[in-house]
Structure 1
Amino acid sequence: MEMLVDWNAHIEQWSHAAVRLQRIRAYREQGQGNGEVVGEQFDSQPEFESGSEPTLDAHIGCFFVLTRGEVRIRIADEVYHCRSPYILHGGEGTGLNFDALDHHEMWDGYLVFYSAVPASSEERKSLALSYGFSPYALLPIQEKCEAMERLWAGGEPLDKLQGQSYFLPFVHEILRQRTQRLTHTERSRYNIVAEVIQYIQVHYSEPITVEKLAGRYDCSTSYLSRLFRNQMRLGPIEYLIHVRVQRARKLLLKSNAKVQDIASQVGYADVYYFSRLFKKYTGRSPLQFRTEHRKTTHARVQNNPLHGLESSIVSTSVHSHNENESYYQWSQEGDTSMFQFPRPAFGAMMVLCTSLILSACQASTTPGGTNAQEPTSSTATTVVSDSTAAETRTYTHLKGQSEIPVHPQRVVSFFHLGELMALGVKPVGTTTYILDNPHISDKTGITDVGVPPDAEKILALEPDLIVTTAAFAEAVEGGYDALKQIAPTIVVEQNNDPVKDVEMFGDILGKQEEAEQWKANFTAKIAEYKEKIKPYVEANETFSILNVRPDALFVYGDTNMGGNILYKYLGLKPAAKVDSDVIHGDTWEISSEVIPEYIGDRLFLAVNKGAEDKLKDVQKLIDASPAGKSGHVYSIDFDEFLPSDAIAVEKQLDIITDILTGKAQ
């Protein structure tokens, strides 16, 4: 059994030790008959190439990354039964013994040897720790292994030097996942979306299809598209287009590159197609956009603290690309701008910018200072003393603990707009598709921070609190680390349950009384509407929700698309097959031939745009169902029923009740 570990202390030792990658080996298609690995022991002190031997006082350790199959490994007198994905760490002097659990199944993996020079005997002991665990996101670890193995196999000194640069990020990702505690829901549902977002942000210039993404994450295209849309309110390819257009905008404004070169840079070989797409999303052709926006952008950049920082820390080469950190630099009239910040660098810049701004504010308001000015109503800057500083408290969330304002005043929320509005709090910013919620009418004063969310737009809003889901946190350039440098940032669950979400935000915003009042009103409304529909619904009648899309059919459970209204709140009975297969899940993809099994006495039907042909294919099956025969098939608008926030569910409750009581037009 793995011993109890002080992981913070262990990570601290890694940050102190001088660490070096020594060797990496890939094992592919391992199994019965491959005597090189199966049942053979490896010592964790391998033979090193001449000139790369570690120093005598170095600790030698290894990581084993199982990417496919099952294998039994003995390490440090402990036996680990590993099913991919799995990570093992072996300390100094421990042997590794591999034995396939099923000799008919192949397994793949990587064995990574490293040396570390600890500062003390205590550090050596900590680094010698042996442990194993299943990572919740294999892809970031596997990609670093692939890069290290490819570069190491090349044998060239420059390749090996670059291979070294991947090792510490590899260790960081392993330790981050080992120490971060996520719920089962977070692992199983949201991290697929977060990983797809990460992949798109790195590989946006490459050919990407939904089929390729689905194959990479071992799921169907329809499942991935539905899950992605549920989290981000748009599909993966539409998100890819947004990322490409956003990158193109920056290149147009901050470089003199030709439109054709920029199109190629962001993944479009056809410059004419790129220009049409760019105009569709921005309202301007690429050249018009550059001409109209460059002047105002230049003025804004001159007053942006990031501008000076970029020029001072980045070389002025015309064009360079760093594969490891994935950023681009261009030179324009002596100015160098960084378009895609590496996450640590972006965070550091935010800290420095904040310090510069605060220093400037303090200098301008110091009594008797040479630059002191009388404040005016439009330009006054107030420096809050410690005694009057905003009160804060510690809030625990998916990324750990954060100090947040007790009563935040300027909130940016990427997803939960409806919950904030239900509590009487209008955020200063939210994302594009959340802002498109058809049930929220008063959107004045709410800034669209884009998709993916734009860190500079968020910074300009001067928020005192940022609330995000895990998927949206990954979508921001620089990720969670960049967001928390702008303002206190918390990562929350996406419950798809308005009652839970309102209670959660009541706690976050210091609006507990308002949350309780909303809950009481909503509960009373449900009770009232239950009585309203009683004369119109037989006790044993069953209900179903079917969504027809151009390439798929989905049956909904009790979370959204009206399922929470029908089954949870109104207490109506789902069709037997819905009850057994779907009821406690989001959706269930079905094939056309089994439609009759899932349709009950009444059917709520949502047909997406462009799905007319698909509807024709299944119309006869719907007509032959109990709901079809009795004329109890009700059309609902997909966009109106997609949100499941506190304001949306009240509107949806009205719509469904009107349908069932015959009041709907």
Structure 2
Amino acid sequence: MYAYVSMERHTIQAGGSMSLDIGLSAGQERNVMILGHSGSGDLHSSDQCWSLGKGAAWMSPRRLDVVSLCAASHDEWSVSVLTFRTLDPASEPLIGGVEQTAERVYPLFSELQALDHAVGGAARLERSIRVQQIVLWWMTRRQLSEQQSAEDAVLETIRYAQRQFAEPLTKQTLARRAGLSLAHYYALFHKLTGVGPAEYLASLRINRAKELLLHNNLPLHEVAPMAGFKDGWYLSRRFKQRTGMTPTRFRSSKLTQVAAYSSPCYGHLLALGVEPVAAVVPDWQYSQTRFQHAGATRMISQTESEERRLEALALLRPEAAFCLDALQEEGQSFMAQVRTFAPTVEIPWMSMDWLAQLERIAQLCGRASALQSWMDRYEQRRAQTAQLIRKQVGESETVAILVFRPEGCCVYGVRNVGYVLYRALGLTPPAPVAERLRRDSLFHSRLLAPAELPAYAADRILVMIREELPGSRHSYEQLRHSSAWEDMMNRGVKQVQYIKSAEWLGYDPSSIYAQLGHAERLFISD
């Protein structure tokens, strides 16, 4: 229990200071709480400093005698100072520190201020009740803060395990890293992940072993240390315990229940007749694909929270999750968490064209006949489209592809829209693009400085504005009204056509096939 001593209100001028005699070192069992009303400043003791602003509260730590209050230089600082004492000397001392959101105790401070000079038993009881309420609030907040700090420490070890599982990690080493007892660590770990640390590490290691077995022909004694196992024999034993099959048998098996973490991987699987259990796609494609390809696939938008995406994939328990190797940091972090319940199969994005990617996925899924069947249909469609378009577009006629993003204008090579036009249909790019393709057969695109634009003039200019990216339209309008654009148009440009990103950006078999139809409409109906 705690008893009220006093309540004071102080206003410290901008850049000013004052000292507050707490007297805790003199053996007096007193506590001081300071609540910020307006402005901001710092509290200094002989060896500590705390910052306190409007709406924040500070509780004095143990064995503190004097604290200095120093207001910020730009504004006066208004605070209330509550002093109370401990009635039970054996009670556990209150934990000092700062709580940044203390608005809940404002009314209690105001009521204590009003009761400060009241006399009589009722007034003393009222003040005592308010003090107990304030202390209860403080103790609850500090316990929550400590719990959150402990959970944050456990989360850090989980991220560490996702990166370093190949090291000789144990639940004991992770608990020490978190600074918690093994029992406390285990309880929090299980609360956050649903499994214990040992089970979590085992899943990471087995799934990493699966990834390595799928990706290459390394012998088991080389795979083992890369996946966190001491030797090939131990890996083989643990692998069969958890999967029911030997690593050798797994390596020769074919994947059927898979997930796709990207629209290109999803498109590859569809072309092979594989309906993934789940597909995570960008929001701009999500609204289209969820209805175009109805069926057993659980469509998941990339804009959904990480927790919901993981939950959806974990419930479906795919044999593997296909993703691209060009994921941004957020995507890499997400796939590291997917590894706790499924191996992740990375498909090279920039170093492979879509045909090589399709062949790789077909090999992993055992779909050689489906691959050949699809390629036969594609080649027939491609040849028909090329023949029709060549009647409209001469061999000497050049076509340039300009894509506007927030950062500026990009000229495209043979990725996305460029593949169909330059590779599949054999149209002629501007001279600088043709030269670049001679040096780099997989040339994707490059950002142009405005002064470079005239060099990419062509008989036909195809313009794509990435409307789904804020700022792309502004980027286009700026260049469209520049002298560089005018110069380009004066270099023999016969036609400017606008194309939609939703139709032309896909770089997977399903999208490429559809783009052949878009090309017919673009060049034959003009």
Return the TM-score normalized by structure 1. 0.40
Greater relative contact order, per chain length (Cα 8 Å cut-off, separation 6+): 2
